[in-house]
Chain A
């Protein structure tokens, strides 16, 4: 076992929640609005089904191989070379997505707050901090999440409450103007965010208690769904049909707040949510890559390769796309299929193979 630390199920929730929410909260309302119109608040509910499926598959696999991650048991199920190949695909996927997340983070910070700061500095400093967290191990990450997530939640709820006076409930009407199809279409993109719960495969083996992993995973899905429904609903009620015309609707919403002439200019709150949330998200992905790579290469320790991986991630972030438009386009046209194949179909095939070949580690232990 590479990771020596152990965390509780509660800590798992607090790690996974921002892993999905951090970037979703900013980009999802705009993208779902494009497809679902004023039924966009429904889309996260459909999308959350994907999260449930992911958790279900990962939990089933976990039951068969309680001390291992997907990188390790794929070798046991289908043999060394194909297993390594699957491991490589999964790691490449995480490399790539973390590069995207870093880039999204960088574009947001540079685009809204620090227009003259070079992107590489913004991304580099985030990598450095996350790298330190990952080197510290899962316990350190869980504890930093315990510090940040309550702040993120508090600030999010604060924004939601302060928006109430400006809301226009009639914006919700008409319900299902074009049937359920638009809201289902709008669910496709958020699905990719729910699929990121795939990272649970790296956390389940380090839980203190073996049971309850799946239950708490489902609770995470539920919490994420509620948050996304809220953020979609509130931007919808505030901006109506303008919602999809903004790059970051939540950001615009926070900017719009003005109460009694002195509670205003709250975009820095969104920045705080964004930076602390993405920090956890990037750390979790970073951790997955570091531990996964170490397992793929059969290393005893993953710590020495953390910073070299960080360098690669920074390069990936800068390399991944020339601009935000391209990222958005990629997230809409490619990511859904890419994510479903890597994070649902691959593990599902593994699970089926494991059932057929009756493979598990319980007998060995």
Chain B
């Protein structure tokens, strides 16, 4: 169900933005495709593996020794 909505939203974004870009805007098209793809894949990943460690854990791990000072 939520996968359905993710696909719908992705398609809507593509339909809205793609025709607006000129033929010369190659780089923009690549950036657009890349970011959309990244968002789509992350969303799908979170649907199937909702407990994947997030950025908070990543950053938190880096700063753990300092973070102890604040506890």
Interface residues of A (CB under 8 A from B): 95-96, 99-100, 120, 124, 188, 293-294, 297-301, 303-305, 307-309, 311-312, 314-316, 318-322, 326-327, 330, 332-334, 336-338
Contacts and interface: CB of A to CB of B under 8 A. Distances in A.
Contact of B55 (A120, A298, A319): A319
14 contacts: A297-B31, A299-B31, A304-B20, A304-B21, A305-B32, A308-B36, A311-B13, A311-B36, A314-B39, A319-B54, A333-B63, A334-B59, A334-B63, A337-B66
Nearest to B38: A312
Contacts of A336: 70
B48 interface: no
Contacts of A309: 35, 39
B39 A334 contact: no
A333 B71 contact: yes
Contacts of B56: 96, 100, 320-321, 326-327, 330, 334
Interface of B: 2, 9-10, 13, 16-17, 20-21, 25, 27-29, 31-32, 35-36, 38-40, 42-43, 46, 51-52, 54-56, 59-60, 63, 66-68, 70-71
A17 B9 CA distance: 32
Nearest to B16: A307
A322 B21 CA distance: 38
Contacts of B39: 308-309, 311-312, 314-315
Most buried by B among A95, A294, A307, A338: A307
A300 B54 contact: no
Contact of A304 (B25, B60, B68, B70): B25
A311 B32 contact: no
Nearest to B42: A315
Contacts of B60: 330, 333-334
Given A293-B31, A312-B39, A300 B70 contact: no
Nearest to B61: A334
Contact of A320 (B2, B16, B27, B55): B55
A311 B54 contact: no
A300 B9 CA distance: 25
What are the nearest 3 A-B pairs in CB distance?
A: A333-B67, A311-B39, A308-B35
